[in-house]
Chain A
């Protein structure tokens, strides 16, 4: 599914204001402000089993989600970047 690009925005003295009122230097529809308009994929559904996640931790150690949470409930956040 290729979502539609959200491009609504207004140029103001402080930058570009999007349809929710957030103001930033980049025009909506470009770079990190490439928001979807309407539907977009959000991964597995509620009720599905959470897929396992294998990757590296911040300490560059091997990570396995279900082994690490070891039977505890968990919150798994996908975010854009800790750098910018």
Chain B
């Protein structure tokens, strides 16, 4: 349903979106109608496709109905030739890739425009922090994007930094509401010092680090937004001079969307999906028969 909010963008970029589950086709039709889904829903009631990908959740006992048959959920992004370019799978089965993450991957990680307004401090690195997306949602990941703009002729250290130096890093303040995952770093380039021949990894120009975030719940106070705060560190050098390590605090407040009520647990939602309980009952029975 979070995915549906961005379907206009996928359609505009002519990117197809498919979602497969072990649900029966008629259950998918009801779901599609209730939530206005326009991407293609696929039915794999025997988990044949899920097995063929080798991603059946084998931690669930085959007799544990109705849960048996689900995959380790995730998303696969492919290019026009059908080659897999990105995969998003998370060990916490509640956590999923957000639509902006999938769009960014499917667009081939669009190149970044250089910043031109650099007159004020031509030797300074500029850092900006923003969420890729207009809100956070329960279980759905969106990236906190930390964008660097490094002046021409200079670089910042990438991982691993030389001994005694600092690689670019983003650290969030403690926040029990946020679920964060390892930061996605751009490819770094080797930099060889002319004098010594010493080589290390650096970033140049405009680049982004992306920190995947989701919220693990919803509370009334979220109506005012959730504050995300932390610190970015880096060390900038050219061939002659290395600045001292620098840090910059950031703080932003992002809206949090209320979870969509579920038809199995909410009476009002059930009016939009009157067959929900029947579908669930059938899932429980379909491998064992009634009773």
Name A residues whose Cβ lies closer than 8 Å to a Cβ of B: 2-3, 5-6, 18-24, 31-38, 40-51, 53-60, 63, 65-66, 68-69, 71-84
Contacts and interface: CB of A to CB of B under 8 A. Distances in A.
Contacts of A47: 83-84
A77 B20 contact: yes
Contact of A74 (B31, B52, B78): B78
B3 A73 contact: no
Given A63-B42, A81-B70, A72 B20 contact: no
B84 A59 contact: no
B120 interface: no
Contact of A42 (B22, B82, B87): B87
Given A49-B84, A75-B18, 17 more contacts: A32-B67, A48-B84, A49-B83, A53-B20, A56-B43, A66-B82, A69-B78, A72-B14, A75-B76, A76-B18, A77-B20, A77-B97, A78-B55, A78-B73, A79-B19, A79-B96, A82-B23
A24 to B, nearest CB: 8
B64 interface: yes
Given A53-B20, A82-B31, A37 B91 contact: yes
Interface in B18-53: 18-23, 25, 27-29, 31-32, 40-44, 48-50, 52-53
Contacts of A33: 93
Most buried by B among A18, A32, A71, A74: A74
Interface residues of B, number: 78
A56 B59 contact: no
A82 B216 contact: no
Contact of B25 (A46, A57, A71, A73): A57
- Which of A23, A31, A50 has the largest count of B CB atoms less than 10 A from its CB? A50
Nearest to B79: A73
B264 interface: yes
Nearest to B28: A58
B171 interface: no
B177 interface: yes
Contact of A20 (B40, B78, B95): B95
A9 B220 CA distance: 24
B87 A46 contact: yes
Contact of B3 (A2, A51, A77): A77
Contacts of A84: 66, 262, 264, 280, 283
Contacts of B19: 76-79
